[in-house]
């Protein structure tokens, strides 16, 4: 987020997510290429086309994410006079504050994920619909997963976690003479998110290493030992070490939100989710040598970000 002297706030997408995709993307691109080559060699044309499609998709996407890291485009701009949606598009949509009646926060539960939207309520929505291109309308439908939301919705997950409080505060107060960007109160939404991210501590890793020990013990009993077997000692030891970091990536993406969803379920549904966890953790253990290094990179990036933020706050 950037600001200038006229109280103009710029909200950018998270660079951390873009960097993670740039790191993960080549892995999927190479894996898709290998899958395509092996499948066509074995005359499995469906899997070959699938692998080729994955390789092409990630190969094309990587330069776009690199561009977003080097020259980021704001997702949203707030000024004292208006809110500008899609400022980087050919047809940005500036909405005057006097035309906004209110806003509401709505959530949508899609399988194991929860999407949060800030839905703008306009006095005259048709007035601004004319400014919206057909492409923007279609993207809005995709972004809200087809839900019946206002055409003028802000996907809160796209805003940096550290700037969500400021966005909610600005929506309420940016036109007020008492607006103070240096003293932003914490919202209930970010308080809930902090309760999840604060779980990543020493106890979190100790529990996951205990879980990793249980899985490796079970794996030793389940599989045969062999030099070429996936359950060979070296592979299992590597999976044991990297499993907590692989699980960290799982928890950050859907695990913490899934935990919140499970707590609201009936006992019958809880057993179903627990079965999903058991199978999912075992599969995650097997791919830990590939996913774990990405988790380590995320953990280091997160630690450096929190250290930098704490250092700036102490100045």
pLDDT average per 10 residues of sequence, the chain (315 residues):
68 79 80 84 82 87 86 88 85 89 76 71 82 63 49 80 84 84 69 58 85 84 53 77 87 67 59 71 83 82 70 59
Q: Nearest Cα to 286, choosing from 214, 245, 231?
A: 231
Strand residue runs (E) in 14-92: 76-78, 82-85
52, 70, 88 - which closes a domain: 70
CA 152 to each of CA 9, 100, 103, 240: distance values in angstroms, whole numbers, following the listed order: 19, 11, 10, 47
138 and 165 co-located in one domain: yes
Contacts by 247-253, CB closer than 8 A, 24 or more apart:
247/208, 247/211, 247/281, 247/284, 247/295, 248/200, 248/208, 248/295, 248/298, 248/299, 249/291, 249/294, 249/295, 249/298, 250/280, 250/284, 251/199, 251/200, 252/298
Handedness of CA 65, 69, 73, 75 (dihedral sign): positive
d(CA 224, CA 232): 8
CA 119 remoteness from chain centre: 20
219 and 176 co-located in one domain: no
Q: Which domain does 235 fall in, by range?
A: 199-314
> Does the residue 82 lie in any domain?
no
CA 109 remoteness from chain centre: 15
Q: Kindly give, in sequence order, each residue whose CB lies less than 8 Å from that of residue 111, ignoring residues fewer than 6 positions away.
A: none
Instruction: Give yes or no for a contact between 77 and 87, defined as CB atoms under 8 angstroms apart.
Output: yes
Q: Beta strands 93-96 and 82-85: pairing type?
A: antiparallel
Instruction: Give yes or no for a contact between 26 and 89, defined as CB atoms under 8 angstroms apart.
Output: no
151 and 205 co-located in one domain: no
266 and 298 co-located in one domain: yes
21, 55, 70 - which closes a domain: 70
Domain count of the fold of the chain = 3
Q: Kindly give, in sequence order, each residue whose CB lies less than 8 Å from that of residue 265, ignoring residues fewer than 6 positions away.
A: 273
62 and 101 co-located in one domain: no
162 and 207 co-located in one domain: no
20, 53, 70 - which closes a domain: 70
> Does the residue 86 lie in any domain?
no
Burial 188-215 (b: 16+ CB within 10 A, else e): ebbeebeeeeeebeeeebeebeeebeeb
> Does the residue 187 lie in any domain?
no
Encoded tokens for 247? 């699980």
> Does the residue 192 lie in any domain?
no
Quick: pLDDT tens for 21-52: 787 788 778 888 888 888 888 887 787 888 88
Q: Residue 103, SS3?
A: strand
Q: Nearest Cα to 78, choosing from 155, 151, 173, 203?
A: 173
275 and 177 co-located in one domain: no
The packing angle between helices 45-70 and 15-41, to 10°, is: 160
Instruction: Write out the H or E segment, with its range, that includes residue 107.
Output: strand 100-110
> Does the residue 110 lie in any domain?
yes
Instruction: Write out the H or E segment, with its range, that includes residue 100.
Output: strand 100-110
């Amino acid at each position: 987020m950037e600001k200038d002297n006229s109280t103009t706030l710029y909200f950018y997408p998270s660079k951390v997510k873009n960097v993670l995709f740039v790191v993960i993307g080549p892995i999927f691109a190479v894996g898709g290429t290998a899958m395509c080559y092996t499948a066509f060699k074995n005359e499995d044309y469906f899997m070959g086309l699938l692998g080729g499609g994955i390789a092409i998709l990630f190969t094309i996407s990587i330069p776009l994410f690199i561009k977003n890291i080097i020259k980021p485009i704001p997702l949203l701009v707030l000024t004292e006079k208006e809110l500008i949606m899609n400022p980087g598009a050919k047809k940005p949509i500036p909405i005057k504050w006097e035309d906004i009646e209110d806003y509401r926060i709505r959530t949508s539960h899609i399988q194991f994920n929860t999407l949060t939207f800030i839905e703008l309520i306009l006095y005259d929505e048709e007035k601004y619909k004319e400014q919206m291109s057909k492409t923007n309308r279609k993207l809005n439908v995709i972004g809200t997963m087809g839900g019946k939301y206002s055409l003028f919705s802000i996907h809160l997950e796209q805003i940096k976690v550290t700037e969500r409080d400021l966005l909610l505060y600005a929506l309420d107060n940016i036109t007020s003479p008492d607006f103070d960007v240096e003293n932003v109160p914490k919202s209930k939404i970010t308080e809930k998110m902090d309760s999840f991210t604060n779980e990543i501590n020493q106890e979190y890793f100790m529990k996951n290493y205990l879980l990793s020990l249980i899985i490796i013990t079970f794996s030793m009993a389940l599989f045969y030992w062999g030099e070429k077997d996936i359950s060979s000692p070296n592979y299992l030891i590597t999976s044991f070490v990297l499993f907590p970091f692989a699980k960290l990536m799982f928890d950050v993406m859907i695990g913490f939100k899934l935990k919140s969803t499970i707590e609201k379920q009936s006992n019958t549904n809880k057993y179903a989710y627990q079965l999903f966890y058991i199978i999912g953790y075992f599969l995650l253990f097997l791919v830990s040598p590939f996913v774990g290094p990405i988790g380590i990179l995320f953990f280091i990036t997160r630690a450096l970000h929190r250290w930098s933020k704490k250092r700036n706050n102490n100045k």
